[in-house]
């Protein structure tokens, strides 16, 4: 990828897309193509085709997606399967028809089977049943991964897919119903502290394990892979470190400076018990994450306070 190449970041307002955009700008890529949703609806095939014909991007980061935490996935499976299938089908096909040199598709670690051996290697894809709380989303993402592979096989395209672990960072969604666990905990604990509440409610049993990666590390890994001819069709991206939801909640309390208790609401789902990625495929290429979890939560919490607390 050269600094003057035309690069389309699909989904540049989201957690991942905005991190990709920051990193591309920082590294001097000055020909980045962006569209807001009101100007380009990626779920509409004609709009996407016309956009690709008009702009002819050479590289595409496909970070546009309907995403959400466990409750959003569980309660709105139709939105998650329709929007993701539509967006990725339109963008991947238009990328092929308009000669895109390389496309990077964002998958998710929830594409692996619920009872997958840990840590999860790329070849474990499609070897068992999925976690039910995010099955619709996972099936859409698997279709995107398979679509990239099918276009590469039949048309000789160079479309790669990455599987990030659970992500967090600035520009995340802090809505208490729809968000992922880390932004939800930052907000809940901060609000408990400011209202002198004696405890914070944590969904589920607190025993599930999750692996977290700061979104700036994910963006760095995506640029790293986009620039390498030897990147595999499928690559896991994670930190290699797991934490239980209970310990994560305690860490957020420490960062926020909250001394109250934790109450576990077991009427809420736990989701998959573990989903630790095996990242040896990426490691042998020489990439490793640089932001440790505590430091990443600290900067995200600072950003949250600047952004929302003043308001």
Stretch that binds ligand GFB, among 13-21, 27-35, 179-187, 232-240 (CB under 6 A): 179-187
Q: Does 58 bind ligand GFB (CB under 6 A)?
A: no
Q: Does 70 bind ligand GFB (CB under 6 A)?
A: yes
Tell me, residue by residue from 213 to 252, as one string, x for binding to ligand GFB by CB under 6 A and - for no binding: --------------------------------x-------
Closest to ligand GFB by CB, 50 or 176: 176
Query: Which residues, 197 to 216, sit near ligand GFB by CB under 6 A?
Result: 202-204, 208, 210
Q: Does 69 bind ligand GFB (CB under 6 A)?
A: yes
Stretch that binds ligand GFB, among 8-16, 64-72, 93-101, 293-301 (CB under 6 A): 64-72
- Annotated catalytic, 137? yes
How many CB atoms are closer than 10 A to CB 136?
A: 22
* Catalytic positions: 137
* Residues making contact with ligand GFB (CB under 6 A): 69-71, 73, 108, 110, 133-134, 137, 166, 179-181, 184, 202-204, 208, 210, 245, 268-271
């Amino acid at each position: 990828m050269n600094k003057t190449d035309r690069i389309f970041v699909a989904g540049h307002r989201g957690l991942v897309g905005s991190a990709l955009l920051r990193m591309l700008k920082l590294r001097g890529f000055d020909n980045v193509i962006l569209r807001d949703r009101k100007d380009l609806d990626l779920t509409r095939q004609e709009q996407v085709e016309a956009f690709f014909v008009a702009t002819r991007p050479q590289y595409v980061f496909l970070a546009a997606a309907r995403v959400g935490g466990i409750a959003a996935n569980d309660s709105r499976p139709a939105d998650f399967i329709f929007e993701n299938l539509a967006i990725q089908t339109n963008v991947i096909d238009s990328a092929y028809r308009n000669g895109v040199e390389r496309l990077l598709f964002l998958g998710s670690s929830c594409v692996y089977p619920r009872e997958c051996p840990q840590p999860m290697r790329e070849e474990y894809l499609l070897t068992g049943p999925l976690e039910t709380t995010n099955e619709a989303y996972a099936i859409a993402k698997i279709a995107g991964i398979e679509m990239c592979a099918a276009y590469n096989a039949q048309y000789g395209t160079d479309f790669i897919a990455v599987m990030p672990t659970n992500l967090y960072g600035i520009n995340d969604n802090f809505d208490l119903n729809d968000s992922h666990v880390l932004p939800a905990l930052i907000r809940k604990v901060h609000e408990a502290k400011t209202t002198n509440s004696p405890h914070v409610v944590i969904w589920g049993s607190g025993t599930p394990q999750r692996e977290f990666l700061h979104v700036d590390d994910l963006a760095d890994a995506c640029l790293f892979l986009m620039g390498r001819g030897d990147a595999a069709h499928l690559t896991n991206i994670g930190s290699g470190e797991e934490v239980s939801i209970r310990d994560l909640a305690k860490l957020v309390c420490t960062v926020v400076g909250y001394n109250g208790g934790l109450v576990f609401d077991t009427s809420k789902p736990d989701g998959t018990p573990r989903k630790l990625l095996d990242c040896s495929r990426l490691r042998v290429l020489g990439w490793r994450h640089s932001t440790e979890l505590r430091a990443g939560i600290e900067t995200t919490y600072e950003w949250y306070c600047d952004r929302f607390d003043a308001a």
